[in-house]
Chains A and B, each alone.
Chain A
Amino acid sequence: MSSMPLLEARNVRRRFGQVHALDGVNFTVYPGEICALIGDNGAGKSTLVKILSGADRPDEGSILLEGREVSLATPLAAQELGIATVYQDLALAPDLAASDNLFLGREIMLPGVLGRLGFLNRREMRRRAAQQFARLSVRLRSPGVPVSALSGGQRQSVAIARAAMWADKVIFMDEPTAALGVMQTGRVLDLIRQVRDQGIAVVLISHNMSQVIEIADRVEVLRLGKRVARIDRAAASIEGLVAAMTSASAQEETLQ
């Protein structure tokens, strides 16, 4: 494992009124790994992911990207720096085709005057979308149909493929397989591995411990707004993970 963290949160605090959602939390993700972020309800996982992807700002603490301190003012700013999030609601436009969704907000224009007038280069977008899907081994039954006509698993794949297209460093995924059946879950996990193999780090929020064990390279455990454990895949077990999430120990443990 490379020793230089890709994205790091140091001593981040975030309060909502009286509630300390994040109470001096640390978090680290290394390049090219799948890191699972687990914790019981209220541990602060969603808040942390929001802060690390630019959807929220910390009250205290710092965020470092490749060792340099950064300020992520908006999700778009985070995207510019290579950080993207795949939300639970997927944020796809159901009536648009897969390639249109991939390029939404970053459409390719025709060259020359037509392009300046706003004419889309659909052929190029379709071509590159096909390339991206091929790269990630995503097979859509029909690339031209509106994504609402695709199955849940395929929609998830399109959302992940889009994130992977524009974010070259870290992709956050919040419960990506929560609504999927067994077969589709398997495909999405394969896709996540493909994304990692492309060199993009993936941070996965999940409540499914067996899934975490199956796919994660490392696990970071949050409890009550603090990191309480960092566990390598080799040392991970379901009982161990659950214990870490619910344990009463105040010290941060690292299990390798």
Chain B
Amino acid sequence: MNRMKSFFGRADAEPRLALEDDPTQTPRERLSRFIGGGWILILLLALVAVFWISRPAQFGSAYNLTMLAVNAAILLVLSVGQTFVIVSAGIDLSLGAVLVFSSVVSAQAMLWITGSPAGTFGTTPGGWDVVGVGLVVALASGAAWGAFNGLLVALARIPPLIVTLGSLGMALGLAQILTGGVDVRAVPDLLVTQIGTGTLFGIPMLVVIACVVAIVAAVVLHLTRFGLHAFAVGSNAEAARRSGVRLRLRVITIYALSGMLAGLAATMSIARFSTTTINGHAMDNLSTISAVVLGGTSLFGGIGSIIGTVIGVFIPIVLLNGFVILGIPPFWQTVAMGAVLILAVWIDQLKRRTRQGS
């Protein structure tokens, strides 16, 4: 039960001793604990309920619910990486571009192995070995960009916002150079049919992959030393350094992890769309940041959870889906998303202020 509560960012579960100089939990404090912990889930459930009640056969159909999960899968994998980075008080704007770059090198590598010429259209006959190589290339490429980001942040001490903005441009530009701006449109058939549209016990493979990533990430973040150090670095990097935490190594590893997850997302993207999407994923960096922040992770670092990110990812997806099904004009969705994001950041500020109350 305590663990569940800590997943939601609420750590206090034991009875309090009353000591003279200790502030009691003010009603405001209690409210902010409740809000920080559970409100985002309530918001999501409320949205789902509203849409379901108004269009049960459409919103609530198995097809639609499955599609919601599939559409969330790739963004979730990216957002998990962003969670680790933001928890450690960093930020990664390069995620979408790293995804694009990794998808390009991975697709080209797979194409080269199967011997198909560059302009091929459609699917190639590559087997699992080819797919495996493509995956490894994507993961390695993502991790390399991540390490690059991490090195500049940790060693050259350049602010993460600037570093990842720079690597965004470089990764995207290099992807366009490598392909001449033309998407690689021939990918192994296995990848598309088994991963992109394949299912495992009726659940789409992409969703299964995203679930596994989320579960592993949650375990690492909340139960291991690596996760604890990520929180520590975000909470007070100097304190962590003085305690003997190898600060620079941790920072580099966290960015490398985030990059590697972008590489995994790249493979998922190729599988789903059966093509690289060089002009796509342009807003992914901001989408991951808003998902992470909506989920209760603080932009200042030190506080966060994976389950929050999962919920945060679903909110814009459910909003878009419901609006389209209800036939609401497209621009209102943009307004609603902006409003929800501001609300979430305001609540984050509220949490911060009550923390500094003592």
Contacts and interface: CB of A to CB of B under 8 A. Distances in A.
Contact of A183 (B20, B235, B356): B20
A106 B303 CA distance: 21
Interface in B183-229: 220, 223-226, 228
The bracket for how many chain A residues form the interface is 35 or more
Interface stretch (B7-15, B50-58, B154-162, B321-329): B7-15
B244 A76 contact: yes
Contact of A94 (B12, B13, B16, B236): B236
Listed residue (B12, B13, B224, B239) with the most chain A CB atoms within 10 angstroms of its CB: B239
A139 B17 contact: yes
B257 to A, nearest CB: 13
Contacts of A92: 236, 239
A96 B225 contact: no
The bracket for how many chain B residues form the interface is 35 or more
A117 interface: yes
Contacts of B224: 117-120
Listed residue (B14, B22, B240) with the most chain A CB atoms within 10 angstroms of its CB: B22
Interface string B102-125: 000000000000000000000000
Interface in B319-358: 355-358
A100 B228 contact: yes
Interface SS of chain B: helix, strand, loop or mixed? loop
Interface SS of chain A: helix, strand, loop or mixed? loop
A142 B14 contact: yes
Contacts of B2: 144
A104 B355 contact: no
Interface string B12-40: 11101111111100000000000000000
A112 interface: no
A48 B257 CA distance: 42
Interface string A97-126: 100110011110100000001111000000
Contacts of A179: none
B239 A104 contact: yes
A75 B235 contact: no
A96 to B, nearest CB: 6
B138 interface: no
21 contacts: A87-B242, A91-B242, A93-B239, A93-B240, A95-B301, A96-B232, A104-B240, A105-B240, A106-B243, A109-B225, A118-B220, A118-B224, A120-B224, A139-B17, A141-B16, A141-B17, A144-B13, A148-B356, A148-B358, A149-B357, A152-B358
